[in-house]
Amino acid sequence: MRLCRLRRSGLAMALLVSISSFAAPSVAEEIANAGFRQAIAEAAASDTGIAAFYRARDFAPFWTAAESASRRTALLRALAQAPKHGLPASRYDPDDLIALFRDARTQRDAGRAEVAAARMFVSYARDLQSGILVPGEVVPGIKRQVTRPSATQLLTAFETAPSAAGFFRTLAPETPEYARLLREKLRLETVIASGGWGPEVRSGKLSPGRPGPGFLPCATG
């Protein structure tokens, strides 16, 4: 009887050890995960908002995990629409992110891609929501203050949004003035595509009172 109990006890212990070793991450996985977290911490060190966001989630992946596909797709599609809103396409090139995601071979690569995606997301979201320029820096007489949400606020809002694609649709201003600006932008693009206002002047910068190769002097009486 005692031998039977010992056999059952030994079997139970072996089964427990087997289950534990299966469920626990391997040493290699632990090292890889540590590399992922370290890469995020290093890449985000210069941006307190992004660093705080990842610290709050214990450096868990936000863009690069398999279940984050909808976030990645929504971001890449939004970035491709930047010129539609008059934003410079080169400032947020989706091809750069695609290359980072595609070429990530290690967990450290994935960690760096995480932060790059977060930075591009924050840059695009802020610019679309609040504009690239600060009015007072363009014309000192303009006293209007521009409200720019922090990186943590934007990333958290995106994380909790019901729809990743829907979140981006809420960023652009919904005022009549903004709608008129977009219509005028389309009109001017049509004018330029059809030939614009005549041949291009190839004279560089012309300062007042200084003629150049493309300068046409006024006829004198």
Q: Give the pLDDT of residue 13.
A: 34
Q: Tokens standing for 151?
A: 């990186």
Q: Give the pLDDT of residue 109.
A: 94
Short-list 114, 221, 195, 125, CA closest to 164:
125
**Distance set, CA 203 to CA 140, 174, 196, 217 (Å):** 30, 40, 17, 14
Rounded Cα gap, residues 175 and 209, in angstroms: 41
Question: Which residue in this structure is represented by tokens 């090292």?
Answer: 31
Asked whether 78 and 89 are in contact (CB, 8 A), the reply is: no
pLDDT digits (tens, 9 = 90+) for 4-32: 443 434 433 332 233 233 334 465 566 66
Q: Give the pLDDT of residue 95.
A: 93
- Report pTM: 0.75
